[in-house]
C-alpha cells in the first residue's frame, strides 16, 4: 500500500517562459472561434500535436557534451537522439510534453555516482529530435524502442505527460522494476479539459478537437491514455511526487493516480510547482534513497 513521505518546507515557485505566449494564443483563438468555430476546432487539433520546443539555452544542456554515449535511433521518418552517462543498471528518463530529455540533467551525476547508467532521449518533435508533430502513443513507442536499444531497464523516471507515455509503454510490454512519476496528470481527457480552460475555448470548439482525436485514434483513446486506469496494472515499486503548488497539473489529479498504484510511495512537496520538481535536491535525494544502490550480478 502506498505511504506518504514527509512534506518539506515551502520554496517560492518560479514563473516559466511557457506561459509567455498563452494570452496572445488565447485571444486569437477566441476571436477565430466567433467567426469559424469548426475551423477553430480543427486548428486546436493541429496545435495539440505540435509541441513547442524548449527555449535555448536549456538548463543542464552542457551535460550533453559530456555524455559517455550518444546515438540516434530511427523511428519512422525521423531520428531521435539518445544520450547516456555512467555504467550499471539503466535508469531511463521520459520527459513531458514540450520538454526534452536533458530536463533530467540534475539527476545525471547523483544517479551515476550511485552506480546507475542514465539514459535520456528527446521524443519526436521535442528537443533535438526531428519532426514537428507527435502524440503520446508514438512517445510510448519511442520509449520502448530506446529501452530495447539500451537493454534491461532497472527504472523509469517520468515527468508530467511523460508519465502517461511511460505507463502506456509498460502496459504494452516494457519491463521496468521501478517507476518514478513526477507530477502525473490524471488522463489525456483531463489534460484536454484543462487546455480548453486555459485557452478559454467554447465547448463547441473543444468538441471538434475531441471528435478529431477519436477519428484518429479510435473511441478507446481516452481509456488507453487514462493514467488513473493504467496505474491499476502497475506492479513495480515506485514513487509519485506531488507538489501542492503545481499550476499545470492539479495535485488532486496526481493523488487519484497514487490511490490506484498500491506499490508506490508518495512524496508531497510545496513551492516546487510543476518544473522545479525536476531539479529539486529534496526530490532527487528521496528517490535515490528509495532506489538504493544497484545490485550488480557477477559471474563466478
pLDDT winner (highest mean) among 6-20, 233-247, 281-295: 233-247
Say what the pTM is. Answer: 0.90
The CA distances from residue 70 to 84, 113, 149, 153, in Å, are: 7, 20, 12, 17
pLDDT (tens digit, 9 = 90+) per residue, 235-256?
A: 999 999 999 999 999 999 999 9
Q: Look up residue 125 and give its DSSP letter.
A: T
| Interior/surface letters 51-73, b for 16+ CB within 10 angstroms, e for the rest | bebbeeebebbebbeebeeeeeb
Residue 5 confidence (pLDDT) = 54
Phi and psi at residue 185, in whole multiples of 5°? -80, 160
Residue 50 CA to chain centroid, in angstroms?
A: 16
pLDDT for 33 equals 86
Rounded to the nearest 5°, which phi and psi values hold at 7? Answer: -70, 140
Third-level CATH fold of 63-187+225-291: Rossmann fold (3.40.50)
CA dihedral 112, 113, 115, 121 (to 10 degrees): -10
**What is each CA distance from 188 to 41, 183, 228, in whole angstroms?**
17, 14, 10
Query: 10 Å Cβ neighbour count for 142?
Result: 26
pLDDT digits (tens, 9 = 90+) for 181-215: 999 999 999 999 998 888 888 999 999 999 999 99
List the domain boundaries for the chain: 63-187+225-291
pLDDT in tens, 55-73: 878 889 999 999 999 999 9
SS3 186: coil
- Smallest CA-to-CA distance from 130 within 84, 169, 72, 43 is with 72
Per-residue pLDDT, averaged over 212-236, amounts to 96
Q: What are phi and psi of 79, to 5 degrees?
A: -110, 150
Amino acid at each position: 500500500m502506498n505511504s506518504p513521505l514527509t512534506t518539506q518546507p515551502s520554496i517560492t515557485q518560479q514563473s516559466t517562459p511557457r506561459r509567455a505566449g498563452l494570452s496572445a494564443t488565447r485571444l486569437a483563438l477566441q476571436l477565430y472561434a466567433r467567426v469559424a468555430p469548426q475551423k477553430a476546432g480543427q486548428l486546436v487539433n493541429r496545435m495539440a500535436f505540435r509541441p513547442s520546443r524548449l527555449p535555448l539555452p536549456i538548463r543542464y544542456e552542457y551535460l550533453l557534451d559530456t555524455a559517455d554515449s550518444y546515438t540516434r535511433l530511427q523511428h519512422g521518418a525521423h531520428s531521435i537522439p539518445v544520450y547516456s552517462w555512467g555504467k550499471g543498471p539503466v535508469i531511463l528518463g521520459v520527459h513531458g510534453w514540450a520538454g526534452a530529455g536533458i530536463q533530467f540533467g540534475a539527476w545525471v551525476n547523483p544517479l551515476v555516482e550511485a552506480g546507475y547508467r542514465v539514459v535520456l532521449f528527446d521524443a519526436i518533435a521535442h528537443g533535438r529530435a526531428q519532426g514537428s508533430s507527435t502524440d503520446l502513443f508514438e512517445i510510448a513507442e519511442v520509449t520502448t524502442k530506446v529501452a530495447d536499444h539500451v537493454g534491461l531497464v532497472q527504472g523509469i523516471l517520468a515527468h508530467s505527460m511523460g508519465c502517461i507515455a511511460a505507463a502506456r509503454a509498460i502496459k504494452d510490454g516494457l519491463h521496468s522494476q521501478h517507476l518514478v512519476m513526477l507530477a502525473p496528470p490524471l488522463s489525456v481527457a483531463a489534460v484536454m479539459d484543462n487546455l480548453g480552460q486555459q485557452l478559454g475555448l467554447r465547448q463547441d470548439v473543444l468538441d471538434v478537437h475531441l471528435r478529431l482525436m477519436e477519428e484518429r485514434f479510435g473511441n478507446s483513446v481516452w481509456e488507453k491514455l487514462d493514467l488513473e486506469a493504467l496505474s491499476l496494472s502497475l506492479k513495480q515499486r515506485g514513487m509519485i511526487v506531488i507538489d501542492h503548488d503545481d499550476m499545470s497539473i492539479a495535485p488532486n489529479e496526481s493523488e487519484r493516480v497514487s490511490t490506484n498504484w498500491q506499490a508506490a510511495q508518495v512524496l508531497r512537496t510545496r513551492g516546487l510547482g510543476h518544473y522545479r520538481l525536476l531539479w529539486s535536491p529534496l526530490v532527487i535525494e528521496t528517490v535515490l534513497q528509495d532506489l538504493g544502490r544497484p545490485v550488480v550480478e557477477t559471474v563466478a
